[in-house]
Copies of this chain bind each other. A is one copy, B any other.
């Protein structure tokens, strides 16, 4: 088994049918204290339509009873955002555990981040204020405040996608901004230096986790029409072709497919 780096790890999913993420989550949580050093809490958000199920735990994920429960209780969702934490800024506490959540325009927004962002905790906040002490939550609050200031009602999708691209790029100027964010409709992603993705679709094959002796045959759990994209800090399986984001890459997902990217084809 491979050893993880000394940063937080993020995990996301975008799918065109409600899909459970137990397989990927099983790999991720091993990195929280067992195959990785991310002992400082973890969290996961599952969207169901506009609603949200949230699980946060300041315990290390590899020993967390809630994480163990979630492995036995598959929750099906089209958008999932998860995070395991290695504390850099902000002490170990529930309030500092990603993903962070806020409501804007009557939508639940969630945000998970790895990296460090200089000076973001000292900005003037507008509408949204951090509860905890992480630079990540501060970045999220700053971003949503900017969005609300620019658009008092939700803009059309292209304008929203463009504005978030600009705000992510501004955050990236402060340091490392590997980000997963959703508004319950789209999954907005940005990579500074560590983010990979894989899209699984028919014909589905088998996959073998790197962090646990677990294999899954996706063909048994899917239909021909299913499209499921998984995003992670590092590849979770060893026998599949994960694609590495480029530095500065911005990519927006919906139903498992890329809706928008700043990469030239």
Contacts and interface: CB of A to CB of B under 8 A. Distances in A.
Contacts of A128: 103
A106 B94 contact: no
Contacts of A49: 93-95
Interface in A78-113: 93-97, 101-103, 105-108
Nearest to A100: B103
Contacts of A73: 65-66, 69
A50 B131 contact: yes
A51 interface: yes
Interface string A35-63: 00000000000001111111111100000
Nearest to A65: B73
Contact of A51 (B105, B108, B132): B132
Given A65-B73, A69-B69, A101-B101, A51 B106 contact: no
Nearest to A57: B53
B65 A95 contact: no
A107 to B, nearest CB: 6
A260 interface: no
**Taking chain A's interface residues, is the majority helix, strand, or loop, or is none over half, making it mixed?**
mixed
A137 to B, nearest CB: 10
Nearest to A41: B51
A180 B82 CA distance: 30
B56 A56 contact: no
Interface residues of A, number: 33
A122 to B, nearest CB: 14
A94 B48 contact: yes
A50 B96 CA distance: 10
A101 B56 CA distance: 15
B51 A56 contact: yes
A97 B108 CA distance: 14
Contacts of A93: 48-49, 51
B106 A130 contact: yes
Given A49-B94, A56-B53, A95-B51, A106 B127 contact: no
B129 A50 contact: no
Interface of A: 48-58, 65-66, 69, 73, 93-97, 101-103, 105-108, 127-132
20 contacts: A48-B58, A48-B93, A49-B93, A49-B94, A50-B132, A51-B93, A51-B96, A51-B131, A51-B132, A52-B95, A53-B56, A53-B94, A54-B56, A66-B69, A101-B101, A103-B128, A103-B129, A103-B131, A105-B129, A108-B131
